Amino acid sequence: MELNEAERASGTLSAASLAQAVELVRHDGYVVFEAVLPPAFISELRAAFLPLLEETVRRQPENRGSRRYQMHLPFKPPFCDARFIEHPIALAVVEAILGSDCVCQYFASDTPLLGSDYQAVHSDIHPLFPESDLIVPAYGLVVNVNLVDFTPENGPLEIWPGGTHKMPGRVDLKGLAPRMRSHAVHMPAGSILIRDLRAWHRGTPNRTSEPRPNLALIYARHWFKTSYPPIRIPRAEFEKLSERAKKLFRFEQVLQDA
């Protein structure tokens, strides 16, 4: 969705845009807000991110398929900046869908490098009731922020919008996905992609020499817990958070002596 002038100036959504965004997530499984984070902040995030990625690539094997890295982010500036963790546009949509008592429980990134391949199409979460065809409302959302433009060449995320987030767990994802419509999400750096955790998607090959970082937060209903380890938050950083952010991260691990 493109923001209108007033939304760009205020950094917030009008009631009509918020309602549309919520419906897009409910029906298509995702929504994109193009280039909403300031370019200077995205450069700062990228400058902090790339050395961490380099260190990870040196230290550990690829963990999401060929030349593709999932990497947790340290809870420190610039990553714990309010413009990322409690962006007013992302949070308006997240809270409208998950409730104002939702939590944030994942603080990480996905980066394909040159030589990466297509991932298998997947959903980021198990169905709540695998034995049932019951379709339940969203219980978790991923908020992605891209640190570079996502182009056809550098491995954009590909999403299956045809209601895949509402498919019962028993369906043949592997057989159905190639027969269904998918959409490669090309978006300028600093965009916000909000997607239902259940929506089918995959990473695609990065054919350029530059890493293609995609930051990822998971917001969830307060009663839902993914199997990811808790986010480790130094006490000093936790104390600096707004009351709203403290509430979002209330179930994570606040480190006493870090």
Provide, rounded to whole angstroms, the least separation between the CB of residue 143 and ligand AKG: 12
Q: Of 220 and 241, which has the nearer Cβ to ligand AKG?
A: 220
Q: E-strand spans in 15-165?
A: 30-33, 68-72, 103-112, 140-146, 158-159
Residues 4-63 that bind ligand AKG (CB under 6 A): none
Among 214, 237, 248, 254, binds ligand AKG (CB under 6 A): 214
**Per-residue contact string for residues 115-144; x = within reach of ligand AKG by CB under 6 A:** ----x-------------------------
Binding of ligand AKG by 64 (CB under 6 A): yes
Binding of ligand AKG by 157 (CB under 6 A): yes
Check whether the bond before 161 is cis (ω within 30° of 0): no
Binding of ligand AKG by 110 (CB under 6 A): yes
Cα of 127 vs its chain's centroid, Å: 19
Tokens of 10: 């205020």
Fill in the DSSP letter of residue 73.
Answer: P
Among 161, 162, 203, 205, binds ligand AKG (CB under 6 A): 203
Q: Of 110 and 196, which has the nearer Cβ to ligand AKG?
A: 110
Tokens of 144: 């992605």
One-letter amino acid of 61:
P
The separation between the first and the last C-alpha atoms of the chain, rounded to the nearest angstrom, is: 40
Fill in the DSSP letter of residue 178.
Answer: G
**Residues paired with 194 in a beta bridge:** 31, 143
Binding of ligand AKG by 198 (CB under 6 A): no
Interface residues with ligand AKG (CB under 6 A)? 64, 70, 110, 112, 119, 157, 201, 203, 214
